[in-house]
């Protein structure tokens, strides 16, 4: 009887936790069993290079020997957000590169990063991009090629890292493994100056992430490397 009561109390506690999470507005956008609900950038289906492995969404390394991996592309969650908080976990294989893009606008014949900021995902120790850019602004957690993550707290390859991205009225914060590593303001003069000193300076669309509505999609980047994502959830602010 005591065992039954204890189990009942645990179940009630679990239910109450779920209810609290629902009240706080979190939406789990990947259930851990299927790519369903996501699609490719500028396409209606999900690229075949994206699979599910051990409850995680995985982008597979490009291989000339494997026709399955010939179908490439970035993956978007097709709901537009303006003010939001995103949480997820990722891990990379040795030497791998990827990214989380936000305020994505789909523009025909344009690559996804032509118009969207990127939370960089990288194996800092083994990928050459870690030493490129300026002062580490292409290392993990950075606003790619614009602002270096500080402090740099990424974990080694084959280890899970936690991410939190907050966007509210153009103010953006990147968190990596519990530490705030980047903060900046979109769309103003400071943003224009920042872009003017980067690789994006000749791309007009990059000056206005989210377009005229200042809202857009969340996306996971296909950089032709093995990278896993799990516990992906988002909340409107």
The CA-based angle 162-227-87, given to 5 degrees, is 25
Instruction: Tell me if 174 is assigned to some domain.
Output: yes
Instruction: Tell me if 52 is assigned to some domain.
Output: yes
Task: Tell me the pLDDT tens digit for each residue of 107-165.
Answer: 999 999 999 999 999 999 999 999 999 999 999 999 999 999 999 999 999 999 999 99
The CA-based angle 201-204-208, given to 5 degrees, is 105
Residues with Cβ < 8 Å from 58, sequence gap 6 or more?
50, 51, 52, 226, 227, 228, 229
The Cβ of residue 234 has, within 10 Å, a number of other Cβ atoms equal to 20
- Containing structural domain, residue 77: 27-236
Residue with more model confidence, 1 or 221? 221
Residue count of the chain, please give it: 237
Domains: count for the chain: 1
Instruction: Tell me if 10 is assigned to some domain.
Output: no
How far apart are the C-alpha atoms of 231 and 196, rounded to whole Å? 35
Residue 126 maps to which CATH number? Answer: 2.60.120.560
Confidence (pLDDT) at 106: 96
Instruction: Tell me if 200 is assigned to some domain.
Output: yes
- pLDDT reading at 10 higher than 70: no
Residues with Cβ < 8 Å from 11, sequence gap 6 or more?
none
Residues 27 and 37: beta-carbon distance below 8 Å = no
How far apart are the C-alpha atoms of 46 and 184, rounded to whole Å? 32
Dihedral angle computed from the Cα positions of residues 78, 79, 85 and 86, in that order, rounded to the nearest 10 degrees: -20
Q: Among candidates 80, 237, 217, which has minimal Cα distance to 169?
A: 237
Confidence (pLDDT) at 31: 85
Confidence (pLDDT) at 178: 98
Instruction: Tell me if 18 is assigned to some domain.
Output: no
Task: Tell me the pLDDT tens digit for each residue of 42-58.
Answer: 999 999 999 999 999 99
Q: Among candidates 222, 215, 98, 234, which has minimal Cα distance to 165?
A: 234
- pLDDT reading at 21 higher than 70: no
Residues 220 and 100: beta-carbon distance below 8 Å = yes
Instruction: Tell me if 34 is assigned to some domain.
Output: yes
pTM score: 0.89
Instruction: Tell me if 63 is assigned to some domain.
Output: yes
- pLDDT reading at 234 higher than 50: yes
How far apart are the C-alpha atoms of 151 and 179, rounded to whole Å? 8
Confidence (pLDDT) at 70: 82
Average pLDDT, stretch 182-204?
Answer: 95
Confidence (pLDDT) at 7: 43
Average pLDDT, stretch 5-13?
Answer: 41
Q: pLDDT-based confidence at 68, cuts 50/70/90? A: low
Give, as one character, the DSSP assignment of residue 187: S
The CA-based angle 30-72-84, given to 5 degrees, is 35
Task: Tell me the pLDDT tens digit for each residue of 165-180.
Answer: 999 999 999 999 999 9
Q: pLDDT-based confidence at 8, cuts 50/70/90? A: very low
Instruction: Tell me if 20 is assigned to some domain.
Output: no
């Amino acid at each position: 009887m005591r065992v039954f009561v204890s189990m009942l109390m645990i179940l009630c506690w679990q239910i109450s936790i779920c209810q609290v999470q629902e009240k706080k507005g979190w939406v789990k956008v990947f259930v851990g069993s299927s790519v369903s609900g996501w699609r490719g950038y500028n396409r209606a289906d999900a690229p075949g290079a994206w699979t599910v492995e051990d409850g995680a969404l995985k982008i597979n390394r490009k291989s000339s020997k494997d026709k399955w991996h010939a179908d490439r592309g970035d993956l978007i969650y097709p709901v537009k957000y303006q003010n939001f908080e995103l949480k997820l976990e990722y891990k990379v294989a040795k030497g791998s590169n990827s990214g989380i893009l936000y305020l994505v606008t789909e523009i025909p014949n344009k690559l996804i990063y032509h118009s969207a900021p990127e939370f960089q995902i990288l194996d800092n120790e083994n990928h050459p991009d870690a030493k490129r850019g300026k002062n580490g602004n292409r290392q993990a957690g950075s606003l790619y090629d614009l602002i270096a993550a500080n402090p740099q707290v990424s974990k080694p390859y084959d280890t899970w890292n936690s991410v939190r991205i907050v966007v509210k009225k153009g103010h953006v914060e990147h968190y990596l493994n519990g530490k705030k590593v980047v903060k900046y303001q979109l769309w103003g003069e400071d943003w224009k100056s920042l872009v003017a000193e980067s690789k994006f300076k000749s791309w007009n669309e990059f000056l206005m992430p989210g377009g005229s509505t200042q809202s857009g999609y969340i996306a996971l980047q296909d950089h032709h490397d093995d990278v896993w994502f799990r516990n992906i959830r988002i909340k409107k602010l």
